[in-house]
């Protein structure tokens, strides 16, 4: 540990490591680092290089617990729980240079004093310092620190999520992490569509530290719109939302992990552990939403995307293959590429301008109305002027094969729709493909390169950042989707709401380079 950092050491003592009861180690802890050094007979320190555990960043520690020894009535243990980049275990790790995020634990044994109570008091003090450092590292907003530190998170589990495996995934892979992190929660099993929406409309906001959704993206959409339907929606928006990936798309947590620049875990089991650790130690991050008006008179709120044409057809009609999980999108996409449909209509939009006057989160007060959230939307019975000499609005005429408007980079775990987007850019990204004689080839190229977003480099894919939009189909039937949920088919319009939501995430480390495309 550097000399400058040693002056900021909060606590220091001698421990034994697990299975090394004959070797005392000097353990030091500061607000940012845990240091372990082997103590020689002359009480001098010798650095421990085994398994690269000489220095452990506080960012890699998600919890610690005090435990009594099962055999020795005097000893007390401090079990420190880690989630960090490490080499794979076994023979693969021997030859691989790639690091992966893994859970591990460090067991420190304390037996310096003559009775258990005295040893426990010392270990409890260590627990306080480490747990407090983890909490302070989260840099939570003042309103959460002062009123919600001891509150539980409200967790909704969709039992149909993850091909019916959501509840099992939470029990097997999440509860243990949260116990180690001392993250408190209350679980509600949803019983029907709309259950979570109805529930959050009547909760006492002061009772909860945040809301966690164990589901796909549909439950997030449901809860956001439930919160926005409250009379005190301005306060409800301050509840941070966490996401445990238990569905087909899992776009929300994918975008959160992308923003942190952590590698996105491949399997559902590892992905849900990754999300559980993020939620247990979360920082509050802002995210953009969009206010959306649809043709039946409803005003809805989107956290992800608005879909029309083939992407909406794939999203909607793949529901019959939900049992396939994420593969359902691929099956339906192949069908739609073979027999593509042309969509007629037009798109009006306002190009993004950073200087444009848009509602900022800091401008929202208890007296702000929903109608005051947007600046550019007009009633559907009023046509939008598109003369560039008098208005910011522009028009694109169809026919179209593909239209997608996003506020995030990923619209599913395996689909990047806007490589430049993050959680809170302050704009929407409009992309479209015109219907022409090359429609099958163009759509095939698009769907085969969506995993990394490279399809956006094709000349036939046109895209731009926008502030607001209105889509007016000429057809009387088709699919229109908001965040993967089907809505009435017809004219639809929306506008960006920058940084209006809060989510449970992690900021990128300053010394960490991006490892996601």
For the chain, give every domain's residue range.
Answer: 3-137, 148-287, 292-498
**Cβ-contact 504, 240 below 8 angstroms:** yes
Q: Is the pLDDT of residue 10 over 90?
A: no
Residue 509 contacts residue 257 (beta carbons within 8 Å): no
Domains 3-137 and 148-287 share a fold: no
Residue 412 contacts residue 305 (beta carbons within 8 Å) = no
Checking DSSP bridges between strand 208-215 and strand 241-245, what pairing results, if any?
A: parallel
pLDDT tens readout for residues 424-459: 999 999 999 999 999 999 999 998 999 999 999 999
CA pair distance 350, 37, nearest whole angstrom:
60
More confident site: 146 or 406 = 406
Residue 487 burial by CB count (10 A; 0-12/13-18/19+): exposed, middle or buried? buried
Report pLDDT digits (tens) over 54-107. 799 999 999 999 999 988 999 999 999 999 988 776 655 555 667 889 999 999
Asked whether the predicted pLDDT for residue 6 surpasses 60, the reply is no
Task: Place 333 in a pLDDT band, splitting at 50, 70 and 90.
Answer: confident
pLDDT tens, residue by residue, 133-164: 999 999 999 989 989 888 999 999 999 887 78
Q: For position 249, what pLDDT does the model report?
A: 84
Coil vs helix vs strand at 517: coil
Expressed in percent and rounded to 5, the helix, strand and coil fractions of the chain are 30, 35, 35
Query: For residue 182, what is the DSSP state?
Result: T
Strand ranges inside 114-184, DSSP E: 152-157
For residue 374, what pLDDT is reported?
87
Task: Tell me how far apart the alpha carbons of residues 111 and 280 are, in angstroms, rounded to a whole number.
Answer: 30
Tell me the pLDDT of the chain averaged across its residues: 89
Find tokens 């926008």 and name the residue.
Answer: 466
Q: Which long-range contacts (CB under 8 A, 24 or more apart) does 383-391 make?
A: 384/348, 384/470, 386/348
Strand partners, 109: 16, 77
pLDDT at 317: 80
Mean pLDDT of the region 234-254? 95
- pLDDT, tens only, 168-215: 999 999 999 999 999 999 999 999 999 999 999 999 999 999 999 999
Task: Verify whether residue 425 is a known catalytic residue.
Answer: no
- Per-residue pLDDT averaged across 493-510, rounded? 92
Q: Is the pLDDT of residue 3 over 50?
A: no
CA distance 305 to 102: 32
| 236 has pLDDT over 70 | yes
Average pLDDT over residues 244-269: 94
pLDDT at 515 over 70: no
Exposed / middle / buried, residue 138 (Cβ in 10 Å: 0-12, 13-18, 19+)? middle
Q: What is the pLDDT of residues 282-318, one digit of tens each?
A: 999 999 999 999 999 999 999 999 999 999 988 888 7
Peptide bond into 328 cis (omega under 30): no
CATH fold of the domain at 148-287: Rossmann fold (3.40.50)
Strand pairing partners for 187? 155
> Residue range 341-351: average pLDDT?
95
How would you class 386 by CB atoms within 10 Å of its CB: exposed for 0-12, middle for 13-18, buried for 19 or more?
Answer: middle
Q: Which member of 217, 293, 315, 348 is catalytic?
A: 217
45, 28 in Cβ contact below 8 A? no
Instruction: For 357-404, write each residue's pLDDT tens digit.
Output: 665 655 788 888 888 888 899 999 999 998 888 899 999 999 999 999
Residue 159 and residue 190 in contact, taking contact as beta carbons nearer than 8 Å: yes
Binning pLDDT at 50, 70 and 90, where does residue 7 land?
A: very low
Q: Tokens for 132?
A: 């407090």
Alpha-carbon gap, residue 445 to 402, rounded angstroms: 13
In angstroms, what CA-CA distances link 165 with 168, 194, 267?
5, 20, 14
Q: d(Cα 498, Cα 506) in Å, to the nearest integer?
A: 19
Residue with tokens 């430049």: 420
Beta bridge partners of 448: none
Looking at residue 42, its pLDDT comes to 56
Contact 130, 123 (CB under 8 A): no
How confident is the model over 2-9, as a mean pLDDT? 50
Q: Answer yes or no: is pLDDT of 494 > 70.
A: yes
pLDDT value of residue 357? 62
Share of the chain above pLDDT 70, in %: 89
Is-above-0.85 flag for pTM? yes
- Residue scoring higher pLDDT (324 or 233): 233
Rounded to the nearest 5°, which phi and psi values hold at 3? -60, -40
Contacts of 255 (CB under 8 A, 6+ apart): 287, 408, 409, 410, 422, 423
* The pLDDT of residue 325: 64
- Range 3-137 has CATH code 2.30.29.30: yes
Fold for the domain defined by 292-498: Tumour Suppressor Smad4 (2.60.200)
Calpha distance 226→223 (Å, rounded): 5
- Work out the percent of the chain whose per-residue pLDDT is above 90: 71
- SS3 of residue 282 by DSSP: coil
For the chain, report the end-to-end CA distance as a whole number of angstroms: 34
Contact 24, 36 (CB under 8 A): no
3-state SS, residue 132: helix
User: What does the pLDDT average to over 259-268?
Assistant: 94
Whether 9 and 28 have beta carbons less than 8 Å apart is answered as yes
Distance CA 103, CA 84 (A): 7
Which structure tokens are listed for 172? 């097997």
């Amino acid at each position: 540990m550097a000399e400058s950092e040693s002056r900021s050491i909060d606590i220091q003592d001698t421990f034994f490591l697990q299975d090394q009861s004959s070797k005392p180690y000097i353990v030091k802890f500061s607000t940012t680092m845990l240091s372990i050094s082997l103590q020689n007979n002359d009480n001098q320190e010798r650095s421990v290089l085994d398994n690269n555990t000489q220095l452990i960043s506080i960012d890699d520690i998600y919890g610690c617990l005090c435990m009594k020894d099962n055999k020795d009535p005097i000893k007390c243990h401090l079990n420190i729980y880690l989630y960090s980049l490490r080499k794979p275990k076994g023979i693969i790790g021997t030859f691989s240079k790639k690091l992966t995020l893994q859970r591990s634990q460090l067991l420190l044994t304390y037996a310096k004093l003559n009775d258990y109570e005295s040893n426990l008091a010392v270990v409890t003090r260590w627990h306080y310092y480490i747990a407090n450092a983890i909490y302070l590292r989260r840099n939570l907003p003042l309103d959460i620190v002062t009123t919600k530190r001891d509150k539980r998170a409200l967790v909704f589990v969709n039992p149909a999520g993850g091909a019916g495996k959501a509840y099992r995934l939470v029990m097997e892979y999440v509860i243990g992490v949260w116990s180690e992190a001392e993250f408190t929660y209350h679980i509600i099993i949803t019983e029907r569509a709309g259950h979570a929406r109805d529930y959050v409309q009547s909760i006492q906001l002061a009772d909860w530290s945040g809301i966690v959704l164990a589901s796909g993206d549909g439950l997030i959409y449901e809860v956001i719109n439930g919160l926005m339907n409250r009379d005190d929606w301005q306060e409800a928006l301050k509840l941070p939302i966490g996401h445990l990936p238990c569905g087909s798309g899992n776009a929300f947590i994918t975008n959160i992990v992308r923003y942190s620049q952590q590698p996105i875990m491949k399997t559902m089991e590892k992905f849900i552990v990754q999300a559980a650790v993020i939620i247990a130690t979360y920082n509050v991050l802002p995210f953009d939403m969009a206010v959306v008006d649809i043709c039946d008179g409803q005003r809805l709120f989107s956290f992800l995307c608005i879909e029309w044409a083939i992407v909406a057809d794939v999203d909607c009609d793949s529901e019959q293959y939900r049992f396939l999980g994420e593969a359902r999108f691929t099956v339906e996409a192949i069908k739609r590429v073979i027999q593509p449909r042309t969509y007629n209509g037009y798109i009006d939009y306002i190009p993004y301008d950073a200087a444009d006057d848009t509602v900022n989160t800091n401008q929202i007060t208890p007296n702000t109305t929903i109608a005051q959230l947007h600046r550019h939307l007009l009633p559907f019975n009023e046509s939008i002027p598109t003369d560039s000499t008098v208005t910011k609005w522009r028009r694109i005429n169809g026919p179209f094969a593909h239209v997608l408007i996003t506020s995030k980079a990923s619209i599913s775990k395996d689909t990047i729709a806007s490589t430049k987007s993050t959680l809170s850019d302050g704009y929407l990204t409009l992309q479209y493909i015109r219907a022409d004689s090359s429609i099958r080839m163009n759509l095939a190229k698009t769907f085969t390169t969506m995993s990394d977003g490279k399809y956006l480099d094709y000349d036939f894919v046109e895209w731009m950042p926008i502030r607001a939009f209105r889509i007016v189909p000429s057809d009387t039937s088709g699919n229109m989707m908001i965040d993967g949920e089907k809505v009435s088919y017809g004219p639809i319009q929306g506008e960006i709401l920058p940084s209006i939501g809060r989510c449970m995430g992690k900021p990128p480390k300053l010394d960490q380079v991006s490892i996601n495309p």
